[in-house]
Amino acid sequence: MSLLTAYWRFRAEEVRAIADEMKSTKTKLILAGVAEDYVQIAKLFENGTLKLQTSPPLQNYAMIYEGRNSIVPLHTENRN
C-alpha cells in the first residue's frame, strides 16, 4: 500500500470515527458518504488512475485524474 493510499484510508477512518459521535442521522449519513469518497480516492491511487504530481519550479501539488485528463489542485498559494 502506498503512502497516498494509506493517507486516504486513514482519513476515511477518521471521518467514520467522527460520524459515530454524531447524534443526527442526517449528519452520520453525510459523513459516511465523505468516508466512502475517501476510500474511492484511495482506490484510484491504488490502481494508478489518480497520481500525485509536482510541477516545478513552484512545486504546487495536484491530483491528476487520468480517466478525464483533468488536474485538481490540492493547495493554492496566496499571491498578493
Give the tens place of pLDDT for each residue, 38-76: 999 999 999 988 877 665 544 455 555 555 555 555 544
Domain extent, residue 63, equals 49-80
User: How many CA atoms are closer than 13 Å to the CA of 55, on its beta-carbon side?
Assistant: 12
Residues 21 and 42 in one domain: yes
- Number of domains present in the structure of the chain: 2
Residues 2 and 34 in one domain: yes
Rounded to whole angstroms, how far apart are CA atoms 45 and 5?
Answer: 6
Residues 35 and 15 in one domain: yes
Residues 60 and 37 in one domain: no
What confidence tens digit (pLDDT) does each residue in 43-52 have? 999 998 887 7
Q: Does residue 46 contact residue 31 with C-beta atoms inside 8 Å?
A: no
